[in-house]
Amino acid sequence: MIRYITAGESHGPGLTGIVEGVPAGLPLTEEDIAVHLVRRQQGYGRGGRMAFEKDFATISSGLRFGKTMGGPIAMNMPNRAFEKDDAGWPTVMNKEIEAEGIEKITLPRPGHADLVGAQKYNFDDIRPVIERSSARETAMRVACCSIARKFLKHFGIQIGGHVLRIGSVGFDSWEKVRALTDPLAEQGAEKIYQAADESDVRCLDEKLSAEMREEIKKRRKEGSSLGGIYEIVITGLPVGLGSYVHWDRKLDGMLAQAIMSTQAMKGVEIGLGFESGHKPGHEVHDEITHEKNKFSRRTNRMGGIEGGMSTGMPIIIRGVMKPIPTMLNPLRTVDMQTKEETETRYERSDVCALPRAVVVAESVVAPIIANAFLEKFGGDSIQEIEANFKTNTQ
């Protein structure tokens, strides 16, 4: 099974990732990974840091002649902002000195991991929490998960995402979204992200894209921030990934965990999700059909998953990202040292990170699908998996 781990801090010298469980024989290059790293850095509403961050992951082990060898794959991603930062972090790390004279940050930001993280690890300074909890970590997460995406694409499974809503601006019906995405999904879900990437807010509707940009401009002037809702579509799946037998093998449960493990996510739904709670059953469930010797569904309101298993229809996942808590217009907090109420300090940040977060969400679901696929068709090499897949899907 594929699993990955990341290491590194936001202002440290770089990020490290290790991916294990990738079968032998998968063609893989650093450029395959770079595609999604570049996408992660694009999007309207981003902060100044993106101007000098140019993320690229260098593979240092696990490949030979451009193919995986079955062993762990290690990657490194230097932080190009390392020497530019003045928060004391590079000085402490490079000179290996005690942190005397380095400013302690004692003003935890509401909505961040700052206060709880400091309480958990007994810090008198929130800097260590800021460093690791930062969404900067998702750069390496995207790199690691891009390998799983490459594996899935080898078997015809594609992932694509787009923005549904930023702040108060967005689609007002499930049907309007499906009218845009279904024709693209028929060609494979990557067509969805390619079309969405034409918009700097990653929205498939041109009029809504313009309104979203105006919404971001408005909140930037106010010194505030914005979150929103996005949708991930996965196509090309065989029937029966996941399980109804055990609670921890249900595909929708595992996908929800992956989404909620991502920084700033506060909600997830599959298919109609929460909307199905105020509709009658005949407007929620998907009628079953049988045509050309194949079972299918008239609609896909369940989002491609029934009973914790893939139905063969596209999987549709929606996630909610909260507004970024770091804002130019500060919130009230309490100093950890003096216990006095005051205003938060500003750490550079995006006004709206949702267009970038879509790429992260696309990425984190890939290992979940890949592992469900391997559970059903697995083997130690791509050739063995291909044979198992062919035998079990004829």
Q: Identify which has the larger pLDDT, 121 or 13.
A: 121
**348 pLDDT more than 70:** no
CA separation for the pair 80, 277 (Å, rounded): 47
High-pLDDT (> 90) share of the chain, %: 82
The predicted-structure confidence for 304-327, as pLDDT tens digits, reads as follows 999 999 999 999 999 999 998 888
Task: Note the pLDDT of residue 46.
Answer: 62
Q: Which domain holds residue 353?
A: 3-393
Q: What is the mean pLDDT of residues 37-54?
A: 73
| Parallel, antiparallel or unpaired: strands 288-291 and 228-235 | unpaired
What CATH number is given to the structural domain containing 285? Answer: 3.60.150.10
Angle at the Cα of 23 (from 19 to 28), degrees rounded to 5? 70
**90 pLDDT more than 50:** no
Domain count, the chain: 1
Q: What is the mean pLDDT of residues 344-361?
A: 87
Task: Note the pLDDT of residue 93.
Answer: 47
Task: Note the pLDDT of residue 394.
Answer: 66
**145 pLDDT more than 60:** yes
**275 pLDDT more than 70:** yes
Q: What φ, ψ does residue 310 adopt, rounded to 5°?
A: -70, 140
CA separation for the pair 255, 265 (Å, rounded): 13
- How many Cβ atoms sit within 10 Å of the Cβ of residue 64? 10
**88 pLDDT more than 60:** no
Q: Which residues pair with 318 in a beta bridge?
A: 231, 269
**379 pLDDT more than 80:** yes
Mean pLDDT taken over the chain: 92
Q: What is the mean pLDDT of residues 1-16?
A: 93
**288 pLDDT more than 70:** yes
Q: Residue 63: name the closest of 51, 54, 72, 52 by CA.
A: 72
Alpha carbon distances (Å) from 293 to 218, 290, 343, 390, 394: 54, 7, 65, 18, 12
Q: How many residues does the chain have?
A: 394
Task: Note the pLDDT of residue 96.
Answer: 45
